[in-house]
């Protein structure tokens, strides 16, 4: 009996508490920088695509929403011929970002992707590419790695050591 009255009173007193609802379109809650939202493809500091079309993101994707086709330019630099993410399938798990060796694919704090047509949720490369480096400023895969491309020989990468002549016995 007492507990019934007390629960009525408790519920009544919640009237004077602040409401926790965020009135969404007018006010917005702050999203964390690591929030997993709309996927983008970033560029390196030189303004070129970071993606090397290694397909690791497509392999990591549990719902198979990423499809791409690799190709190479004259300098021997790999890039995706097309890069397509079907956001009507994407579950925003972030595995693609974890899998990416070149920090190209990134998830951003944005979720407002509503569309009236399902086909509009299929984003092509030009929809995904942004002009900046995203979360990793200054990182340039081709500058750091040892891969030989036009204008950079083996061993010239910043994380790379000069190649060793395996046929020589000298230290």
Backbone angles phi, psi at 130, to 5 degrees: -110, 170
- How wide is the angle at C-alpha 125 spanned by C-alphas 40 and 138, nearest 5°? 45
C-alpha span between 1 and 12 (Å, rounded):
17
Query: Which one of residues 18, 32, 47, 169 is an interface residue with another protein (CB under 8 A)?
Result: 18
**Of 10 and 69, which has the nearer Cβ to another protein?**
10
Query: Which one of residues 7, 69, 71, 120 is an interface residue with another protein (CB under 8 A)?
Result: 7
Q: Is position 23 an interface residue for another protein (rule: CB under 8 A)?
A: yes
What number of chain residues touch another protein (CB under 8 A)? 14
Stretch that binds another protein, among 8-16, 48-56, 123-131, 140-148 (CB under 8 A): 8-16
Shortest distance (Å) from residue 7 CB to another protein: 5
| Reduced 3-state DSSP string for 72-131 | ECCCCCEEEEEEEEECCCCCCCCHHHHHCCCCCEEECCCCCCCCCCHHHHEECHHHHECC
Q: Which residues bind another protein (CB under 8 A)?
A: 4, 7-8, 10-12, 14-15, 17-21, 23
């Amino acid at each position: 009996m007492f507990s019934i009255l007390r629960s009525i009173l408790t519920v009544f007193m919640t009237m004077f508490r602040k409401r926790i609802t965020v009135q969404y379109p007018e006010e917005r809650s702050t999203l964390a920088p690591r929030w997993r939202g709309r996927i983008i493809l970033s560029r390196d500091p030189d303004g070129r695509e970071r993606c090397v079309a290694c397909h690791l993101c497509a392999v990591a994707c549990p719902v198979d929403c990423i499809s791409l086709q690799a190709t190479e330019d004259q300098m021997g630099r790999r890039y995706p011929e097309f890069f397509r993410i079907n956001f009507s399938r994407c579950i925003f798990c972030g595995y693609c970002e974890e899998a990416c060796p070149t920090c190209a694919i990134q998830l951003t704090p944005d979720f407002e992707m509503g569309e009236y047509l399902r086909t509009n949720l299929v984003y092509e490369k030009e929809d995904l590419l942004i002009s900046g480096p995203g979360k990793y400023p200054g990182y340039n895969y081709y500058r750091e790695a040892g891969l030989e491309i036009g204008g950079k020989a083996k061993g010239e990468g910043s994380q790379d050591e000069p190649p060793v002549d395996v046929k020589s016995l000298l230290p």
